[in-house]
């Protein structure tokens, strides 16, 4: 197997799923080169429904060059309402053209403002605010420029073999006589890794903080986040983090001085340092109090990133041992496909699982081949039950190496996690159109929510994750 990029190995991604040479190339040369459209899972009531029962206006916004949080702030400011009254289902990249859902509480359709580089369409009313993940998935249309387009066909064929088990690629093409739309996309599969951005694109330390938290190492968790300089950071930031590391080794640390040196843009680091300066005693409770200075969603993200890192390691270990991702072996925990997913979207339902044992292994393998089931691995938490057989050996070996067990996630406040399971294989249909005269190619595909476009793109480009 082809080894992953060195930066990817820092987050548990050890291998590519195909051995073909990469295309290289550039993404997001313009926002239009990266288009993302949410596959919606909401069914709103009509616009004239009683706003007392359905107080949230549901809108579809197509944004060009907008960060999701920045757009929500701009929208709330234009409406003169609290930012907390604007919600969305998924966060999208700024350097893209994105089509996504927002809910806005307590306004009428005619109140919506005009905003530059944004088209807003009113869909109706809903009875609650949108929650993160209130979407079935995302559809992507991506152009890769300045690329060596020669390997595209070979990469697609190799990834197809991971689904079909060999032979020439089978295209998902309907007959013109049967009334269906012709679709030249090809089924492909890649490991369902958590993408590099899950851990911090330029400074991947989020999972390291979470691992420290799970082990009860509150001091080390704070210092991993606030200190611990990375070469990719600006010189001023590196110097500030190095000063933090120096103070951590001192018998009389100067947290006030560390706070003064930390750049203003690093507000989370500054919040932690402020609490260290105010608390002063440096007990475990003080260090935990410092870590809790960040927003609750970031507290959860620390632990989620640790779970994601362990998951990536488990997937990589399966590949290292030659265990398949596309079909189960004895002891695997298999989940079924979501029966309510939009047509053509391979979406796992991890609430419906079954252990593959004895004769059920072959039965579940047939379900997996047809896209009706998926092999899973744990996002470990307090309620995690590990697999049996060799899959369970893999899971235990990785957790032992990390010094973790399910009970470690019985943590206070937002750090607590019960865990879940996640499909180890990401399956989709890819349309790959090559433009050799322009040294470019286009990829189109759809992914379920929670999966990363970069884990497919990396198989084509084989570039640094920083460039994805």
How many angstroms from the chain centroid is the CA of residue 190? 15
Does pLDDT of 285 surpass 60?
yes
109-143 pLDDT tens trace: 999 999 999 999 999 999 999 998 899 999 999 99
Burial class for 461, CB neighbours closer than 10 Å (0-12, 13-18, 19+): buried
- Whether the Cβ atoms of residue 352 and residue 358 lie closer than 8 Å to each other: no
Question: Is 376 in the same domain as 335?
Answer: yes
Question: Is 13 in the same domain as 161?
Answer: yes
Question: Which CATH number covers residue 216?
Answer: 1.10.1510.30
Question: Is 264 in the same domain as 388?
Answer: no
- Whether the Cβ atoms of residue 375 and residue 332 lie closer than 8 Å to each other: yes
Residue 184 has a pLDDT of 67
Query: Which residues have a Cβ under 8 Å from the Cβ of 191 and sit 6 or more positions away?
Result: 13, 15, 17, 315, 319, 325, 424, 425, 426, 455
SS3 label, residue 249: coil
Does pLDDT of 370 surpass 60?
yes
Residue after which a domain boundary falls, among 109, 133, 157:
133
Half-sphere exposure of 58 (CA within 13 A, CB side): 23
C-alpha span between 140 and 155 (Å, rounded): 18
216-225 pLDDT tens trace: 999 999 999 9
Query: Which residues have a Cβ under 8 Å from the Cβ of 207 and sit 6 or more positions away?
Result: 11, 198, 199, 305, 306, 308, 309
Residue 31 has a pLDDT of 93
Residue after which a domain boundary falls, among 133, 150, 171:
133
The answer to whether position 237 is within a domain reads: yes
The answer to whether position 419 is within a domain reads: yes
Lowest mean pLDDT segment, chosen from 152-166, 247-261, 282-296, 336-350: 152-166
Q: What is the mean pLDDT of residues 341-360?
A: 93
Lowest mean pLDDT segment, chosen from 36-50, 156-170, 373-387, 438-452: 156-170
Grade residue 313 by pLDDT with cuts at 50, 70 and 90: very high
C-alpha span between 356 and 366 (Å, rounded): 12
Lowest mean pLDDT segment, chosen from 88-97, 240-249, 328-337: 88-97
Question: Is 419 in the same domain as 455?
Answer: no
Residue after which a domain boundary falls, among 294, 317, 336:
294
Domain residue limits at 337:
299-423
Question: Is 458 in the same domain as 343?
Answer: no
Does pLDDT of 182 surpass 80?
no
Residue 173 has a pLDDT of 35
**Strand pairing report for 135-144 and 348-355:** unpaired
**Strand pairing report for 118-126 and 56-64:** antiparallel
The answer to whether position 238 is within a domain reads: yes
Question: Which CATH number covers residue 98?
Answer: 3.30.70.3160
C-alpha span between 272 and 12 (Å, rounded): 28
Question: Is 207 in the same domain as 236?
Answer: yes
- Provide long-range contacts, Cβ within 8 A and 24+ apart, for 74-81: 74/115, 75/102, 75/104, 75/113, 75/115, 78/113, 78/115, 79/104, 79/107, 79/111, 79/112, 79/113, 81/105, 81/106, 81/107
Question: Is 215 in the same domain as 69?
Answer: no
The answer to whether position 364 is within a domain reads: yes
C-alpha span between 222 and 276 (Å, rounded): 10
Question: Which CATH number covers residue 320?
Answer: 3.30.2350.20
Higher-pLDDT residue of 73, 175: 73
Does pLDDT of 198 surpass 60?
yes
How many angstroms from the chain centroid is the CA of residue 250? 38
Residue 160 has a pLDDT of 95
- Whether the Cβ atoms of residue 377 and residue 395 lie closer than 8 Å to each other: yes
Single out the catalytic residue among 48, 70, 93, 467: 93
44-87 pLDDT tens trace: 999 999 999 999 999 999 999 998 989 999 999 999 999 999 99
Burial class for 432, CB neighbours closer than 10 Å (0-12, 13-18, 19+): buried
351 is catalytic: no
The answer to whether position 309 is within a domain reads: yes
The neighbour count for residue 269, using CB atoms within 10 Å, is 23
Query: Which residues have a Cβ under 8 Å from the Cβ of 427 and sit 6 or more positions away?
Result: 163, 187, 188, 189, 346, 371, 374
Residue 343 has a pLDDT of 86
The answer to whether position 1 is within a domain reads: no
Question: Is 120 in the same domain as 81?
Answer: yes
Sign of the torsion angle spanned by Cα atoms 95, 100, 106, 108: positive
C-alpha span between 345 and 139 (Å, rounded): 10
The answer to whether position 36 is within a domain reads: no
SS3 label, residue 378: strand
Does pLDDT of 179 surpass 90?
no
Mean pLDDT, the chain, integer? 93
Sign of the torsion angle spanned by Cα atoms 422, 423, 424, 427: negative
- Whether the Cβ atoms of residue 189 and residue 163 lie closer than 8 Å to each other: yes
Does pLDDT of 169 surpass 70?
no
Question: Is 185 in the same domain as 249?
Answer: no
Give the predicted TM-score (pTM) of the model: 0.92
Question: Is 391 in the same domain as 259?
Answer: no
393-422 pLDDT tens trace: 999 999 999 999 999 999 999 999 999 999
C-alpha span between 290 and 278 (Å, rounded): 10
Question: Is 326 in the same domain as 412?
Answer: yes
C-alpha span between 449 and 135 (Å, rounded): 7
Q: What percent of the chain has pLDDT over 70?
A: 96
Question: Is 147 in the same domain as 22?
Answer: yes
- Specify the number of domains making up the chain: 4
DSSP structural state of residue 331: T
Closest CA relative to residue 107, chosen from 78, 130, 67: 78
For 3-61, what is the HEC assignment? ECCHHHHCCCCCECCCCCCCCCCECCCCHHHEEEEEEECCCCECCCCCCCCCCEEEEEE
Residue 164 has a pLDDT of 57
Query: Which residues have a Cβ under 8 Å from the Cβ of 35 and sit 6 or more positions away?
Result: 96, 97, 98, 99, 140, 141, 142
Residue 176 has a pLDDT of 38
The per-residue DSSP string of 123-142 comes to EEEESS---TT-EEEEEEEE
The answer to whether position 254 is within a domain reads: yes
Residue 178 has a pLDDT of 34
């Amino acid at each position: 197997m082809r080894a992953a990029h060195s930066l990817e190995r820092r987050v548990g991604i050890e291998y590519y799923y195909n051995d073909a040479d990469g295309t290289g190339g550039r993404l997001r040369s313009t926002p239009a080169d990266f288009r993302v459209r949410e596959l919606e899972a909401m069914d709103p009531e009509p616009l004239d429904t009683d706003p007392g029962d359905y107080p949230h206006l549901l809108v579809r916004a197509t944004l060009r060059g907008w960060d999701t949080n920045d757009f929500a702030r701009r929208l709330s400011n234009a409406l003169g309402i609290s930012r907390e009254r604007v919600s969305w289902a998924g966060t999208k990249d700024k350097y893209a053209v994105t089509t996504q859902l927002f809910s806005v509480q307590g306004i009428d359709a005619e109140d919506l403002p005009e905003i530059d580089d944004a088209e807003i369409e009113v869909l109706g009313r809903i009875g609650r605010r949108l929650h993160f993940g209130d979407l079935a998935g995302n559809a992507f249309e991506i152009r890769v420029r300045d690329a060596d387009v020669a390997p595209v066909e070979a990469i697609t064929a190799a990834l197809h073999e991971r689904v079909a088990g060999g032979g020439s690629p089978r295209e998902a093409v309907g007959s013109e006589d049967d009334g269906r739309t012709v679709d030249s996309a090809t089924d492909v599969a890649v490991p369902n890794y958590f993408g590099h951005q899950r851990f911090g694109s330029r400074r991947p330390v989020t999972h390291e903080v979470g691992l420290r938290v799970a082990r009860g190492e509150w001091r080390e968790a704070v210092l991993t986040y606030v200190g611990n300089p990375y070469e990719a950071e600006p010189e001023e930031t590196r110097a500030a983090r190095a000063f933090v590391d120096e103070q951590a080794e001192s018998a009389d640390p100067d947290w006030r001085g560390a706070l003064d040196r930390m750049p203003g843009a690093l507000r989370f680091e500054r919040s932690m340092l402020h609490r260290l300066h105010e608390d002063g005693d440096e007990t475990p409770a003080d260090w935990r109090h410092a870590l809790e200075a960040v927003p609750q969603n970031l507290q959860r993200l620390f632990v989620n990133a640790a779970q994601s890192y362990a998951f990536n390691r488990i997937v990589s270990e399966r590949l290292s041992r030659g265990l398949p991702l596309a079909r189960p072996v004895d002891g695997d925990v298999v989940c079924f496909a979501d029966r309510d997913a939009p047509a053509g979207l391979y979406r796992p339902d991890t609430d419906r699982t079954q252990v593959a044992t004895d004769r059920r292994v072959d039965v579940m393998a047939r379900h997996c081949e047809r896209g009706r089931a998926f092999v899973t691995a744990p996002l470990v938490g307090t309620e995690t039950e590990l697999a049996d057989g060799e899959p369970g050996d893999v899971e235990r070996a990785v957790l032992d190496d990390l010094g973790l067990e399910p009970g470690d996630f019985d943590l206070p406040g937002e750090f607590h996690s019960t865990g879940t399971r996640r499909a180890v294989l990401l399956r989709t249909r890819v349309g790959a159109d090559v433009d050799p005269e322009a040294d470019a190619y286009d990829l189109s595909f759809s992914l379920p929510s929670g999966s990363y476009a970069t884990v497919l793109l990396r198989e084509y480009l084989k570039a640094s994750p920083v460039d994805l």
